[in-house]
Homo-oligomer: A and B are copies of this chain.
Amino acid sequence: MIIKLQAGINHTHHQHLLDAIGNKGFKVNEIKTQTSTYLVCIGKAEVDLRTFGHMPGISDIFHVSDEYKLVSRKWKTNYTQIDLGDNVIIGDGNLSIMAGPCSIENEQQVLNTIQHLKDNNVKIMRGGVFKPRSSPYAFRGLGIDGLKMWYQLCKENGIKIITEVMQVSQITDMYEYVDVFQVGARNTQNFNLLDELGKVDKPVMIKRGISGTIEELLYSAEYVFSAGNEKIVLCERGIRTYEKASRNTFDINAIPLLKDKTHLPVIADPSHGIGIREFVEPIALAAAVAGADGIIYETHEIPEKAASDGQQTLNFAESAQLIRKLNSLSAIRD
């Protein structure tokens, strides 16, 4: 059961409400987000909502049978929109395109990419400055200085930034230079990181774990929401299976399943989803048709020379063609 409180509920009403719910055998989690206050009530009691519904101070009240609560569509049927400012909105019914290199490499690379994005009317650039790598000897990214350089150039050109945060201690330093924090597939269940991102007033995109379930992804979003941040985006990026003909198995089923279960926007990452450059396009188109709110993919002027992930990175001509096709699909999405 979720109870949304009225703004400015007075102390007495608040206490009456907590007592009444507690008396019914529920454990109450009081969640204050940046916009609202909720009582998330966990318990097995069957209860008639009218028992509480008349009590003063309640804005709205809902049954939510799912184990995850605040991210469920059972109480919030309208889809959430995430506003990045300057009319860049994720989840407004249009397809949000986010493109850029795996790793930020240098100023020239960033400038070339920005030009490519502007030429194709793309508003959000992806890229990594902190890179999680299986081997400690691999390139780990340019770090915070790379982010500052990248941000400066994007700001001058009206482009928004989405980039991965790997640990709690980076959040404060990154905050000013990021439009969307990305939580990577290896950190989907890094609960401390999720808790801290819940305290930040910037959108967070959570990638599905390497072999994470859809339910676990929703729980991870519940962590961020219940810690205070309602601006959450989910991302399907392929799962680990026995099939080795592709890097991951892009779980196209997850797109309609997530759109059914949660009010949060759902983005698809075809680059990691299949991991093979020449097949990124059909997977991107498939995800768009299946209902994704956006596509995030890797592009680089010369993929063969990219610092990482070149084998799944589109060159600018391929990227431009993909954008054209995605735009033509948008027309028939409704």
Q: Which residues of A contact B (CB under 8 A)?
A: 27, 29, 40, 42, 67-69, 132-137, 166-169, 186-187, 189-193, 195, 209-211, 213-216, 219, 222-223, 226-227, 239-246, 249-257, 260, 273-274, 276, 278-279, 282-283, 285-291, 328-329, 332
Most B Cβ at <10 Å: residue of A169, A244, A282, A328:
A282
> Do B191 and A166 touch across chains, with their CB atoms under 8 A apart?
yes
> Do B136 and A227 touch across chains, with their CB atoms under 8 A apart?
yes
Report Cα–Cα, A134/B227, bound state, in Å. 14
Q: Add 6 more A-B contacts to A134-B219, A136-B195 (CB < 8 A).
A: A214-B243, A252-B283, A253-B274, A257-B276, A286-B290, A289-B329
Most B Cβ at <10 Å: residue of A135, A214, A239:
A135
Taken together, the copies of this chain in the complex come to 4
Report Cα–Cα, A102/B249, bound state, in Å. 27
Q: List 17 A-B contacts (CB under 8 A).
A: A132-B189, A132-B191, A134-B219, A136-B223, A209-B210, A214-B243, A214-B245, A239-B243, A249-B253, A250-B252, A250-B253, A252-B286, A255-B282, A282-B291, A283-B290, A285-B289, A328-B332
Determine the chain B residues whose CB is within 8 A of the CB of A244 once the complex forms.
Answer: 213, 244
Determine the chain B residues whose CB is within 8 A of the CB of A250 once the complex forms.
Answer: 252-253
Q: How far is the CB of A125 from chain B (nearest CB, A)?
A: 24
Determine the chain B residues whose CB is within 8 A of the CB of A137 once the complex forms.
Answer: 27, 29, 40, 42, 69, 226
